[in-house]
Structure 1
Amino acid sequence: MDDGEGSIRPSDPALDVTTAVDGYCADSHLIPWRGREATGRYVTNQRDEGVWWCGVRRRWACRCRVPPRLRYERSMRAETRDQVLRSVDFGRYEADGDSRLLEYFLETGATRRAAAGTQLVIGRKGSGKTALFQHLAATLDHAVVELDLSEYVFQAHDKLREDGIPAAFAYATSWRLIIAAAMFAKLRKSMSFWHRRRGKKLLREIGLGSNRGAFGAMAEWLQRVRRLDLPGVEGIATLGGIELGDSQPSLIDVRTIQLLDELEGLLAKVVLKSPVTVLVDRLDDAWDGSEDSLRLIIGAVRASRHFARRFGQQGTAPVIIFLRSDLWERLDFNDKNKTGQVTIYLDWRDEELVEIIERRIRRSTESESEGWGTIFTSEEMRQRAGTQTYILKRTLGRPRDIVAFSVFAREVAVQNGHSVIEKADIYAAERRYSKHALDELRDEIAAHVSSFPQVMETLQRLGRRTFTVSEWNAAASESGMTPKEASEALDQLFESSTVGVLQAGGSSGGSGTRYRYQDRFLRSNASAVLQVHLAFVRELSLTDR
Structure 2
Amino acid sequence: MSNTIFSLSGFDSFGDVAAEDDAVLNYFLATKAVENIEKNSVFMALGRKGTGKTALVRYFTEGAGVGQASKSLNLRGYPWNVHAARMDHGASPIEAYVSSWKYLIAVELASLVLSHRDSWKSLSSKTLTKFLNDNYGGTNPDLSEILRPQRLALSKLSFNPSVMGNALGGIDLERSGKDHRFGLELNALSGSIMSAVVEVAKDTGQNHIKLHFDELDQGMSTLEDDRAHMLIGLVLAAREVRRGSGSGGVEVTPVVYLRTDLWDELQFSDKNKISQTLALNIVWNGDNLLELVEARLQSKLGAGVSWSDVAESDLMRGSQRKWDHILARTFLRPRDVIHFLNIILAEAKKRAVEPTHFTNQDIINSRDEYSQYLKRELDDEIGSHWPQWEEAVQALSTISTITFGRGEFEQEYSRRKSRLNKISDDDALALLYRFSVIGYQRRSGYGGSSWAFQYTDPEAGWDNGASRFKVHPGLKEYAKLREKRGND
TM-score between the two structures when normalised by the length of structure 2: 0.82
Distance in 2 between residues matched to 1:129 and 1:324, nearest whole Å: 9
Q: Tell me the equivalent position of 2:43.
A: 119
Q: Which residue is 1:517 aligned to?
A: 455
Report what 1:195 is aligned to.
124
CA spacing shift, 1:269–1:371, aligned 2, 3 Å: same
Map 1:357-506 onto structure 2 (within 5 A): 357-365=293-301, 367-418=302-353, 419-481=356-418, 484-487=422-425, 488-506=427-445
| AA matched with 1:261 | G
CA contact (8 A) 1:95 1:130 kept: yes
Kindly state the Cα deviation for residue 131 of structure 1 after the two structures are TM-superposed.
0.6
**AA matched with 2:367:** E
RMSD: 3.2
Read off the aligned partner of 1:436 and give its amino acid letter.
Y
Q: Secondary structure at the match of 2:218?
A: helix
Matched, 1:177 2:111: no
Q: How does 1:78-117 map to 2 (within 5 A)?
A: 81-82=6-7, 84-87=8-11, 89-98=13-22, 100-117=23-40
Residues of 2 paired with 1:317 and 1:121: CA distance?
A: 16
Aligned twin of 1:42: none
Between 156-165 and 308-317, report the one with greater CA deviation: 308-317
Counterpart of 2:60 (choices 130, 136, 139) is: 136
Secondary structure at the counterpart of residue 217 of structure 2: helix
Matches of 1:379 and 1:517, distance apart in 2: 28
2:286 and 2:332 in contact (8 A); partners too: yes
Match of 2:155 in 1: none
Q: Are the aligned partners of 1:172 and 1:302 in contact in 2 as well (CA < 8 Å)? A: yes
Maintained 8 Å contact 1:180/1:263 = yes
**Residue 78 of structure 2, aligned match among 149, 152, 164:** 152
Instruction: Provide the residue aligned with 2:195 in structure 1.
Output: 265
SS in 2 for 1:513: strand
What are the equivalent positions in structure 2 for 1:247-258 lying under 5 Å apart? 252=182, 254-258=184-188
Deviations 1:78-104 (A, max 9, x none): xx544x443253111221211x21112
Higher RCO (CA < 8 A, seq sep 6+): 2
2:154 alignment counterpart: none
Alignment of 1:215-364 (within 5 A): 217-219=144-146, 252=182, 254-272=184-202, 273-275=205-207, 276-285=209-218, 287=220, 288-312=222-246, 317-339=252-274, 340-364=276-300
Distance in structure 2 (CA, Å) of the matches to 1:518 and 1:312: 38
Alignment match, 1:530: 469
Structure 1: runs of 5 or more not aligned: 1-12, 18-76, 209-214, 223-231, 234-242
Query: 1:536 offset after TM fit, Å?
Result: 0.5
CA shift, 1:149, in A, is: 0.9
Separation of aligned partners in 2, 1:353 and 1:104: 12
SS for the counterpart of 1:318 is strand
* Corresponding position of 1:29: none
Contact 2:103 2:186 in 1 (8 A): no
Secondary structure of 1:285's match? coil
Query: Cα distance, 1:364 vs. partner?
Result: 1.1
TM-superposed deviation, 1:426: 0.5
Identity of aligned pairs, percent?
25
Task: Pick the structure with more helix per residue.
Answer: 1
Work out the CA distance in 1 between the residues paired with 2:148 and 2:398. 47
Residue 282 of structure 1 aligns with an amino acid whose one-letter code is: E
1:268, distance to aligned residue in structure 2 (A): 3.3
TM-score w.r.t. the length of structure 1 is 0.74
Aligned residues: 442
